[in-house]
Structure formats: C-alpha cells, structure tokens
Structure 1
C-alpha cells in the first residue's frame, strides 16, 4: 500500500513538473531583491509570487472614474476604464485588455489549468481570465488583483 501511495505521489509530482511554466525573459527583468524594494509587500506577493488579494479589498474595485489602469510594477498601460465593469466577483474586472500589453499564460498552481494574465512587459501576475463576462461585448472577464494596478485619471 505504501508503494502505491508513493507511486501516486511521484506520478502527480512528475505530471506537475512537466506542466510547470517555463521562465520567460521580459523587457523589464529585475532581481527579486530589487522588486522587493520597489513594491509593497502585498504588491510583491501578487505580482511576483502570483498571490491573490482578498476579495473586495481594493479601492479600485469600486472606481468608476475615466482613465487608464497600469501595471503597479512597471507602469505599462493594461486596461482602459471604458472596459471595466462590475462583475460582482470582488475584484476589478475588465472585458478586454490593451492589445499586446497583457500576456495570456496557463497556470497549474491549483492542480488544473487556468488562464493566467500577466503584464507583457515585466511578467507580473495580474489575475485570471474567465469566459463568464458580458455577452454583449467579449464574453471575457479579466479578474484582476487591484494591488497589481495603479489608476491614472484622464485629464
């Protein structure tokens, strides 16, 4: 029985390792020590360690002003305010990103495939994409950690 359990755990580990994400080089590439100096602990946890903030904890979730949402790490423009909507999920949600600025990746951290969203410039983890967004637009919901964003109001 112990051998069966061991083989099962080994198979699971090897399967996970085979699907592990490859580390990609981004235009903005800093060592973790530098990111830790530039980001708050919560920003570092989300952007660099692929963490998730608590739902309804970001003031950006309730922001209805016109402007641009940029990456909190590298200031790359990611989302326009006109593409933001209230999904009721507890996180800022958008039906689309600025073309070319958000990378789509596959995340296996929970043991199954999820569509992960990253800043295309620095590789910072933003959140995940789901297919339950507004049907009248794209049908997508980019569920984004507010701490991964900074809002720049329109002048």
Structure 2
C-alpha cells in the first residue's frame, strides 16, 4: 500500500526508524515501521496494518484497481492502494 500527498513529496517516504505511524486526526495506530518497504513512488508504503480495523478501503470511483484508504477509526483520508502495488508486485493485503 502506498499513500498519496497531493501538495508535496511525502516527508516520511525515506523514514525507516522504528516506531508507529498514527492517524494525524485521531492518533489511532495505523502501521508499524516493520511493515514499511521501499517503494518507487514519493509516498510511504506498507504491507500490513497494526490492527485489523486500522484502515478502511473502498473502491475509488472511476479508477479501476484503486482503493481509497481511510483511517478505520475516524475516517480521515490516508491515500490510495493500487493493484500490483505491493513489494512482490501483487496488491498489498491487510
């Protein structure tokens, strides 16, 4: 899963220090740094969430193969997940 930032390059793309990534709105735990992998886009990418309900995903209207990803607790928009976007060339799964 990779995440989009529409206004600038994502500041956490090359950040690999141990820790947790949390929602900026409600501070719910989203991802562990252990699930982060290097990705070909300017956005951070993860293979799994901290909790089963850390994120919610729904198909993005008009964009086949894209899922809109939001915080599972408060609904804050986090970005998108794309088919064949995972570290092994397959869709990331949670």
Using the size of structure 2 for normalisation, the TM-score is 0.78
Q: Which has the larger radius of gyration?
A: 1
- For these two proteins, the number of residue pairs brought into alignment is 88
**What is the root-mean-square deviation of aligned Cα atoms in Å?**
2.5
1:105 counterpart residue number: 58
Structure 1: state its 5+ residue gaps: 1-50, 142-155
Higher relative contact order (CA 8 A, sep 6+): 2
2:76 counterpart residue number: 124
Matched, 1:59 2:43: no
Structure 2: state its 5+ residue gaps: none
CA contact (8 A) 2:21 2:32 kept: yes
> What are the equivalent positions in structure 2 for 1:77-92 lying under 5 Å apart?
77-92=29-44
Using the size of structure 1 for normalisation, the TM-score is 0.50
Identify, as 1 or 2, the structure richer in helix.
1
